[in-house]
Amino acid sequence: MPIQFNVYVVDEDGNPVVGKRVTVHWSIWRGHLEEFTDDSGHAWFDSPGEAGTGTIYVNGENQGEHWIEDGDGFTVEI
């Protein structure tokens, strides 16, 4: 079953950051997804796979490994 989730990127003052590349790496067999943050600082993802563990990167910087389920939202401060 496909899942939808988002990553919200903010600066140190909590303001949304526009135009940042957000990548989610899944397992080797599942590959990765990539989106850019919109005017609200969100990168929206539609994953064809099921819930699972993914590593989130913002502009190539590792933001940690997370269990990702449908409807999840993650906030990353850069």
Q: Does domain 3-77 have CATH number 3.40.720.10?
A: no
Domain boundaries, the chain: 3-77
pLDDT at 24: 97
Q: What is the mean pLDDT of the chain?
A: 94
Q: Quick one: pLDDT at residue 52?
A: 92
Question: How far from the centroid of its chain's Cα atoms is residue 65's Cα?
Answer: 11
- pLDDT tens per residue across span 9-29: 999 999 999 999 999 999 777
pLDDT in tens, 45-61: 999 888 999 999 999 99
Phi and psi at residue 30, in whole multiples of 5°? -95, -25
CB contact at 8 A, 71 and 4: yes
Give the pLDDT mean for 33-51. Answer: 95
